[in-house]
Structure 1
Amino acid sequence: MSKNEIKAFPATIDETQALLEGQDYVASRALSTVLYLGLKMRRPIFLEGEAGVGKTEIAKVLSQALGRPLIRLQCYEGLDISSAVYEWNYPAQMLEIRMAEATGETSRESIEQGIFSERYLIKRPVLQAVSAPEGEAPVFLIDELDRTDEAFEAFLLEILSDNQVTIPEIGTIKAAEPPIVIITTNRTREIHDALKRRCLYHWVDYPDAATELEIIRRKVPGCNEELSAEIVAYVQKLREIELFKNPGVAETIDWATALTELDKLALDPETVSDTLGTLLKYQDDIARIEGSEGRKILEEVKSDLSAAQ
């Protein structure tokens, strides 16, 4: 990516909000403020919330809006340094050793200097993020950090505090420009305070009805107004029920898209029952809503929207 494609950081909170809306991301004033301060202060941004509320999308939107590459570290149980930070190209190193031996090179120090150089270093997401040239710092997404263990959290402290990575064989590699770090977690476990202290924090909640309706208008422009209103009202009521997994914004968009593809103009009991798999992801939840409770919710939605007209 060339430098002339990279855009300057927004100068105000309003510009930040406009930047996000330009990418069809409807953000609250509070979220826009945190993002503005994170960019201004060069601090990592820690986003917490339920799955499907749009945390990961924020990093993607910033990458697109600012014209910066997105480097994503998808976290999982057992994630280690070789997968997240770097590893050595062992086959190439062995070949180098054999070639040195074939030419009569026997100095251990000389061979080690040759094989432990950046030439044989395989850069994983963390090292890629701190190795970018000045002026081209990427958006570095550390996604679902709560899936890793505390040992990996502790390792991240050096990166978040000093924007650098220490490689024993080479030394410390420091970022020419701090990457824009976005950390997300679904709160399946608590993240240690030492890591949170280094970040600006924001809880990304489910949107209210007006915001969710605007999201559908932007993301599913083919969905008619009546259907969009019914979808949002239905999903909002579902979130008031104790389900195993409440539908997130992503599921709302999927449901609106599916119903639009089916050329539906309004919700009816049969349509809701047939398409619940795009909205709910657990059989127990689907079975509960397929019955009388689902029909009751739909009746309430129709009644509320009719009264509001």
Structure 2
Amino acid sequence: MALEGAGAWSTMQARMLDSLHRVFNKDPLPVLAFRLRYDGDAMTWAVQDGLLTLTVSGGSGAGGVIDLRGHTLATLADFLAAQAGYTVLDENPAVGHLSALTLFGAGDQAASEGDHLYAFTNLLWAFLTAYAVELGAARDQIAAALAQMVLQTADLDWLQEHNTYYGVAWIPGEVPVDYANRTVAEVLHQRGNNVALESLILNATGMRCDVVDVGDGSIYWDGVESFDGDVPFSGYPAAYGLFDVIIPNIPSTPDQDAILVATIRRIVDENRCAGFHVRQIGRVVAWNGSYSFDGAIAFDSVPA
């Protein structure tokens, strides 16, 4: 018979059945749902974890795997009967309304009663089957959760969760593997000074830009006259905390310039020291002790 040695609905359900006290009735209380025949040389079937697997040889049809979750026993019988090479016999209308998930076991149409597909009617089996589905999903999710703990294998949602601690924002359109690698690089790399910023811009854009402090060397002087006639002076640079990013003067389109400026701006904002700001991003036209910008790129600026 198809029931002999067929086992439970799933491995998870079988484990739970085995753990029950013998006072419980563990018999599936099977009832015939229908018979299934195939016109080829051979046909075997098996139900495991809510899937009906059909394996055939020869004939006019083909094997396959059917998800039982979307069927009752009646609709499954109709579906199988509509497939090439298959014939459904002795359909039991008394159980046609039951979910196809009540099917269990395995069979071979060449064996005695091997074409009989049975459904369980034991409520204990139905109860444990529902638990088996959820526990199986939890088992898979636990394995997936371990992958989310590692940057290189985490999905985008979890990468963004990791980066609430690292402070590395996701760039729209960035694929997860690039985001993960950039996270590691940005956490470990040098930052803050002009050499570090130039290196980061080079890695991101391939351009050797110069990061230079703003200021012409002049000093502002102030003084406070005291009653004894002394006037102590103190001085500070004309500009402090501002720097410019000078881009190589190579041909480019306005769209390319806009993307380049946005990329440089992001890198600078993520890696500059507190209190320091980029004044302008542009190209050098002439160098004679000071530099000017050609206006081809929209400037980013912060008031002094």
When the two structures are superposed, what TM-score results if normalisation uses the length of structure 1? 0.23
Bigger strand fraction: 2
More helix by share: 1
* Larger Cα-atom Rg: 2
TM-score normalised by L of structure 2: 0.23
Higher RCO, 1 vs 2 (CA within 8 Å, ≥6 residues apart)? 1
